[in-house]
Amino acid sequence: MTDLLPPASGPHQTPGPSAEERADDVAVERAIELLRSVDLGLSDADAGRRELAGLLRSVAGAPRRADEDPDRRPRAAPDLADPAALPGIIENWSRAAGVPAMAFREDRRAFLRGDHLGFELSPRLLVRAAVRRLRKVGALPEEHRISLVWTGDQPSATLPVRIPDWTAVALPTRPVALSAQYVHHELGHVMELAWRPPDLPLAARWQAPDSVVEWVAMVVEWLSRCDDWLTALGLEAERARQVGEHCRYEDHYTRAFAALVLHCAGVRPERLERELKETVGELIDPGHLREEVRRADYWRTVAQGHARADATVDVLRAAHGARWWERPESWRRLRADVTAQWAATREAGER
């Protein structure tokens, strides 16, 4: 496995699923469909479906929506990026990618995915290379089974099948630079599920605090911004640099966007548009911002996950050097920290 790019002759030729990759996991596909129908507020999302979606989301560790979790307590705000940095980030990013800055406003999602970059990155091959590597360094237990569900253009998602033995991951097949980011993020979720102590009672094993879940996912996501890691996965050096650069810009963007959403969540709805314009000019569509402000809890979890993962990477780098990720002791240490969280959760539950 040395080449993560699809063959030039057929851009969409990717190998068929291996024995480990069960593309026909109907239950997982239906679960994802359910989550999406509730998220999109489709008319068939009645109370029962909403309740089931809330349960599924809590099992996967993702943040619940306000209407699914009446016991939600306010959480402390993490250190945030500067939302006013957004226009500058897009400008520098466009320049680095060699596209006009207007490209972002014309099609934000295509820009973030990296559609304009002149190469493809196969998510299927990337998963194989990253899983192999993560197993090799002891981050992902050898015996942990992963089922992959390939979707069209749906957001990626991780759902446990059996904890801690078996996880399903849904990923879009589109071969874009950003796939490095979500492939690593989801593998972080897989790792955290695999690390949950098997001796915990079943119910406790299936309920994880968001703070722990997103923290581990974002430590692994950090690898998508590390050129040396990408090279170690088999990407040619210049391609690794391009993918790493794209993911680093996307990370700057996401952090500043999270800060913008959280800032605007505290603004009265009638002032929202003016506040948006004063902060970032015409860059962000007000309708898009209004939608995201409704998911402010999600963005708070993202910001907290980033802050915690940054601190972890700093510690691991100080202890084990710039290539901390190839040292099994780094992952052992992270796993011990995560497991300690579980012990604390268990004690709190017993008290």
Radius of gyration of the chain (CA): 20
Name the minimum Å distance from CB 119 to Zn ion.
26
Query: How many CA atoms, within 13 angstroms, populate the side-chain half-sphere of residue 293?
Result: 19
Report the residue number, 120 or 192, with the smaller CB distance to Zn ion: 192
Report the residue number, 217 or 243, with the smaller CB distance to Zn ion: 217
Q: Give, rounded to a whole angstrom, the gap between the first and last alpha carbons of the chain.
A: 50
Name the minimum Å distance from CB 309 to Zn ion.
11
Beta carbons of 317 and 219 less than 8 angstroms apart: no
**Token pair recorded at residue 39:** 């998220």
Name the minimum Å distance from CB 213 to Zn ion.
7
Report the residue number, 217 or 259, with the smaller CB distance to Zn ion: 217
Report the residue number, 283 or 309, with the smaller CB distance to Zn ion: 309
Q: Which residues bind Zn ion (CB under 5 A)?
A: 217
CA–CA separation, 299 and 260 (whole Å): 10
Q: What angle do CA 292, 63, 280 make, to 5 degrees?
A: 25
Beta carbons of 264 and 276 less than 8 angstroms apart: yes
Report the residue number, 53 or 235, with the smaller CB distance to Zn ion: 53
Beta carbons of 39 and 155 less than 8 angstroms apart: no
How many other CB atoms are found less than 10 A from the CB of residue 293?
20
Name the minimum Å distance from CB 220 to Zn ion.
10
Report the residue number, 148 or 217, with the smaller CB distance to Zn ion: 217
166 φ, ψ to 5°?
-150, 125
Report the residue number, 90 or 146, with the smaller CB distance to Zn ion: 146
**Beta strands 145-151; 166-172: pairing state:** parallel
Name the minimum Å distance from CB 210 to Zn ion.
9
Q: Crossing angle, helix 237-265 and helix 179-195, to 10 degrees?
A: 80
Residue 170: enclosing H or E segment and its boundaries?
strand 166-172
Which is it for the CA torsion 253, 257, 260, 262, positive or negative?
Answer: negative
**Token pair recorded at residue 129:** 């290379």
CA–CA separation, 99 and 261 (whole Å): 26
Name the minimum Å distance from CB 236 to Zn ion.
29
Nearest residue (beta carbon) to Zn ion: 217
Report the residue number, 185 or 252, with the smaller CB distance to Zn ion: 185
Name the minimum Å distance from CB 268 to Zn ion.
30
Name the minimum Å distance from CB 217 to Zn ion.
4
Report the residue number, 85 or 146, with the smaller CB distance to Zn ion: 146
CA–CA separation, 294 and 292 (whole Å): 5
Name the minimum Å distance from CB 144 to Zn ion.
18
